[in-house]
């Protein structure tokens, strides 16, 4: 159940990306190239390339390729759309600022009251603080204390990972998703990538501990001739003599592994905090602890608070 970080493509140079676009155009013998044509024949993700250079139109220009009328029309209408909605976004940030009664707040606080998602704000502005600045508000200062425990930093990575439903990026931190500043992570771990590596080691370490503990306990119980075999099956065990091999508490690391396995979604209704910031995920014993269920990954599932409440009602 070991997990790994996503591959980084940052080391691909601008030149490599442009060369590949030019190569595809040449192979297809075309003076113009559409995104679809590149996607079908290119080596890299078309969105990655657009993000790197700003737009597909710019990519075509840099490759000395022609742009067709549809590409030009799309570019000019998206420019118009962008300039209008920036004003709406800033208005909405000011509206939320009035509700909160403060001049400075995090993008998470904004999300809870916003008309638009903060990810839209990030796409339009350089950073969350840039948006606050353009709205005439004060920059949001993330906690940057020297005496933050390393485990608190790792727990914050876990929290971001769960609420985003994916590996958190430098942009997420710059965009105010983290309680702690990017510098705090960088100083402690020597860069964001190293912080993620440390997080992976932390999570996988505990998993090793759990597996070691499980196999050790299983063996010692099964090998004990004094314990009848039927007592190993929880369902057959009378409530009065349940003996658990594991603790009831689900620690943070086990919780993360269960949520990661379940793709940070509720196993019953599919709700996720990444899609709806109201959703809170819990990890729940499938066979309840009170009925002999163990705290092992196979007996745990991710539920949202609504489905979790529904389940305990059924059991009571």
**Which residues of the chain form contacts with Zn ion (CB under 5 A)?**
266, 268-269, 271, 304, 307
- Return the number of the residue (33 or 304) whose C-beta is nearest Zn ion: 304
The two three-digit tokens of residue 227, written as one number: 């314990």
* Beta strand pairing call for 300-304 and 281-285: antiparallel
CB of 279 to Zn ion, least distance (A): 8
| Number of other residues whose CB lies within 10 A of the CB of residue 272 | 21
Burial class (CB in 10 A: 0-12, 13-18, 19+), 36: exposed
- Return the number of the residue (52 or 306) whose C-beta is nearest Zn ion: 306
- Return the number of the residue (89 or 266) whose C-beta is nearest Zn ion: 266
- Return the number of the residue (95 or 306) whose C-beta is nearest Zn ion: 306
CB of 312 to Zn ion, least distance (A): 13
Closest among 120, 139, 119 to 129, alpha carbons compared:
139
Closest among 133, 127, 140 to 100, alpha carbons compared:
140
CB of 267 to Zn ion, least distance (A): 8
Q: Where are the beta strands (DSSP E) in 154-225?
A: none
CB of 311 to Zn ion, least distance (A): 9
Evaluate the CA torsion angle 98, 85, 121, 279 in order and state its sign.
positive
CB of 252 to Zn ion, least distance (A): 21
- Return the number of the residue (154 or 271) whose C-beta is nearest Zn ion: 271
- Return the number of the residue (254 or 266) whose C-beta is nearest Zn ion: 266
- Return the number of the residue (212 or 269) whose C-beta is nearest Zn ion: 269
Distance in angstroms (rounded) separating the CA atoms of residues 60 and 48: 14
Closest among 235, 142, 249 to 186, alpha carbons compared:
142
Q: What is the DSSP string of 44-104?
A: S-HHHHHHHHSSHHHHHHHTT-B--HHHHHHHHHHHHHHHHHHHHHHHHHHHHHHHHT-S-
Distance in angstroms (rounded) separating the CA atoms of residues 271 and 256: 17
CB of 306 to Zn ion, least distance (A): 5
CB of 280 to Zn ion, least distance (A): 10
């Amino acid at each position: 159940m070991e997990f790994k970080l996503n591959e980084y493509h940052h080391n691909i140079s601008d030149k490599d990306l442009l060369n590949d676009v030019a190569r595809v155009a040449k192979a297809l013998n075309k003076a113009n190239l559409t995104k679809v044509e590149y996607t079908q024949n290119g080596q890299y993700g078309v969105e990655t390339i657009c993000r790197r250079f700003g737009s597909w139109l710019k990519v075509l220009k840099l490759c000395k390729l022609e742009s067709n009328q549809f590409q030009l029309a799309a570019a000019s209408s998206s420019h118009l759309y962008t300039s209008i909605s920036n004003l709406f976004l800033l208005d909405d940030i000011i509206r939320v600022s009035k509700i909160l009664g403060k001049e400075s707040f995090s993008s998470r606080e904004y999300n809870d009251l916003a008309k638009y998602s903060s990810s839209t704000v990030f796409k339009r502005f350089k950073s969350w603080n840039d948006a606050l600045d353009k709205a005439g508000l004060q920059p949001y200062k993330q906690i940057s204390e020297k005496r933050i425990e390393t485990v608190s930093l790792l727990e914050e990575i876990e929290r971001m990972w769960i609420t985003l439903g994916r590996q958190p990026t430098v942009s997420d931190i710059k965009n105010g998703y983290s309680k702690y500043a990017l510098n705090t992570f960088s100083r402690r771990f020597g860069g964001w990538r190293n912080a993620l590596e440390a997080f992976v080691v932390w999570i996988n370490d505990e998993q090793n501990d759990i597996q070691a503990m499980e196999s050790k306990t299983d063996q010692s119980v099964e090998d004990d001739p004094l314990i009848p075999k039927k007592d190993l099956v929880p369902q057959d065990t009378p409530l009065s003599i349940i003996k658990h091999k594991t603790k009831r508490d689900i620690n943070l690391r086990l919780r993360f592994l269960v949520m990661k396995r379940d793709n940070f979604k509720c196993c019953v209704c599919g709700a996720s905090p990444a899609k709806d910031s109201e959703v809170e995920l819990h990890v729940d014993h499938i066979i309840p602890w009170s009925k002999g269920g163990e705290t092992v990954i196979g007996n745990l599932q991710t539920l949202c608070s609504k489905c979790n409440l529904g389940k305990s009602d059924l059991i009571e």
